[in-house]
Structure 1
Amino acid sequence: MHSTAVPPSPRSARPAPSAPRGAVTPARAGVVLGVAALILLALVAAEWSPLLSLDRTVSVDLHRWAVDEPGLTHANRVLTDWVWDPWTMRLLTAVAFVVLLFRGARLLAVWVALTSLVGALVSQGLKSAVGRPRPSWPDPVDSANYASFPSGHAMTATVTIGVLLWLLRRYGVRGPLWGVALVVGVVSVIGVGFTRVWLGVHWSSDVVGGWLFGACLVALSIATYEGRALSRWR
């Protein structure tokens, strides 16, 4: 008897199954983050008094400490102006862009650059649309220009760190190295937000708005890129 070869199942050529119902995916996370960001935006634009009162309380307390602790204030200025400055974040994005080009991932490189650009445009557009004044102090420890909501530092750091962590996972970074990258990323995003309120140049809700809009953009960018990549195999 001659054995008959069994053709491979068509299922073996299909892409990995989609996430189970109810699982947290980039698209679902982006929608949730976007809704939260829009709710906060509406409250800020409407000048909701409980939110303004909370902002004022937090800012007054931190500003008092900033005036009383010049050493800590100087450290916060160094961190916000150099380590976590938006241009430092954009430089990291540029490095990632060049590395991806050298690896032949042209589409991914462009995608990363576009995500950073969209983040900057959204931040400036929201600032212009909302026009929220920055905190004003009789004894300021730092200064900043333009409108207050959302925090450009917080949003830029969130977009940059979020994209870089995504790239590390895509290229197989795991174990202790991933743990270090995650800790550094989380500390950077939270830390830059803290510096902006400590230095008295942003309200706390400005920082939260920057985090929410930045995280929403990263999630939707990842979802769009991965959806496009998946569709190429269908």
Structure 2
Amino acid sequence: MPSTPLPTARTSAVDDDSRRASARLLPCLSCAVLCTLLYGLLLVLVVARWGPLMSLDAAFAGTLHRTAVTAPGWTGLIRVFSDWVWDPWTMRAVLAGAVLLLVRRGERRLALWVAATALLGTVLQQAMKALVDRDRPVWPDPVASAHYAAFPSGHALSALVAGALVLWLLRLAGARPLWRWTARAVVTVSVAGVAFTRLYLGVHWLSDVVGGWLLGGALVAGSATVYGVHHTPRTEVPGTAPRAE
């Protein structure tokens, strides 16, 4: 009867590495699944024009718009942040800088992955806008204007995708805790700030912003999961030949 080989310390080390790699990917996978499910639910409610959601959107937008009309000074400042600081093109410029830095460091595969994720975010955003074709808020006294359909918010999606990708890259690079905490603070302020500016200016409904967050979160978390699965370094057992790919 053939004997069953006993586990060795070396194979145990490989198994431990595999388990640790899987544990690192689990939060990203969980986030991707959760965001996808919540986005799907929100999409159904928006398309069906579910009464409670429509009422919440209208009440929230109306309150902020009345404030914007009566405070032109603050409204002008908020328009600067919305149109320049947190504009989708600014977010794309940030990611372009990150991609160029990765290329200079010789990490071309990761640079291509980041660029492809960002591009896919733009494609998904425009496809969903065309599919849902939701009207933006209409006011007798508008303080700002915007183009294309409302759902999901492109500003909200772009800010979250850019911020989440930057945080992911810092984690992959093993950046110091101070840099990572600082980046988290900047990303949090930016993601929340851009959402507030779009609502305050009366060019989006609350559910548009939440939809942008959820779609962007699902995209980045899914992208990070797939990258981790296909690019996690394998630990070979010493004395054995590497497996053919």
Tell me the TM-score normalised to structure 1 length: 0.92
**Structure 1: unaligned runs, 5 residues or longer:** 1-6
> Distance in 1 between the 2:219 and 2:122 partners?
11
1:77 aligned residue: 79
Amino acid at match of 1:138: P
8 Å Cα contact 2:21/2:232 also seen in 1? no
In the TM superposition, residue 99 of structure 1 has moved relative to its aligned partner by: 0.4
Out of 9, 28, 31, the position equivalent to 1:29 is: 31
What are the superposed Cα offsets for residues 131-163 of structure 1, whole Å, 9 maximum, x if unpaired? 000000000000001100000000011111000
Out of 103, 113, 129, the position equivalent to 2:105 is: 103
> Distance in 1 between the 2:155 and 2:143 partners?
17
Q: Please give the residue correspondences for 1:140-179 in structure 2 after superposition, counting only pairs within 5 Å.
A: 140-179=142-181
> Distance in 2 between the 1:216 and 1:165 partners?
15
In the TM superposition, residue 11 of structure 1 has moved relative to its aligned partner by: 3.1
Out of 180, 183, 189, the position equivalent to 1:181 is: 183
In the TM superposition, residue 179 of structure 1 has moved relative to its aligned partner by: 1.4
2:56 aligned residue: 54
> Distance in 2 between the 1:208 and 1:8 partners?
49
Amino acid at match of 2:11: P
In the TM superposition, residue 230 of structure 1 has moved relative to its aligned partner by: 2.3
What are the superposed Cα offsets for residues 32-61 of structure 1, whole Å, 9 maximum, x if unpaired? 110000100000000001000000000000
8 Å Cα contact 1:97/1:112 also seen in 2? yes
Q: Secondary structure of 1:9's match?
A: helix
Aligned residues: CA RMSD: 1.8
In the TM superposition, residue 24 of structure 1 has moved relative to its aligned partner by: 5.0
Amino acid at match of 1:49: G
Pair 1:112 & 2:114 matched = yes
Q: Secondary structure of 1:25's match?
A: helix
Amino acid at match of 2:111: A
8 Å Cα contact 1:132/1:149 also seen in 2? yes
Identity of aligned residues (%): 47
Tell me the TM-score normalised to structure 2 length: 0.88
8 Å Cα contact 1:19/1:25 also seen in 2? no
In the TM superposition, residue 111 of structure 1 has moved relative to its aligned partner by: 0.3
Equivalent pairs, count: 227
Q: Secondary structure of 2:178's match?
A: helix
> Distance in 2 between the 1:20 and 1:106 partners?
24
In the TM superposition, residue 8 of structure 1 has moved relative to its aligned partner by: 6.4
> Distance in 2 between the 1:233 and 1:29 partners?
27
8 Å Cα contact 1:123/1:152 also seen in 2? yes
1:4 aligned residue: none
> Distance in 2 between the 1:75 and 1:16 partners?
51
In the TM superposition, residue 9 of structure 1 has moved relative to its aligned partner by: 1.9
1:9 aligned residue: 10
> Distance in 2 between the 1:18 and 1:176 partners?
24
Q: Secondary structure of 2:19's match?
A: coil
> Distance in 2 between the 1:46 and 1:13 partners?
51
Q: Secondary structure of 2:220's match?
A: helix
1:3 aligned residue: none
Q: Secondary structure of 1:74's match?
A: helix
2:123 aligned residue: 121
Out of 37, 41, 49, the position equivalent to 1:39 is: 41
Amino acid at match of 1:109: A
> Distance in 2 between the 1:55 and 1:85 partners?
23
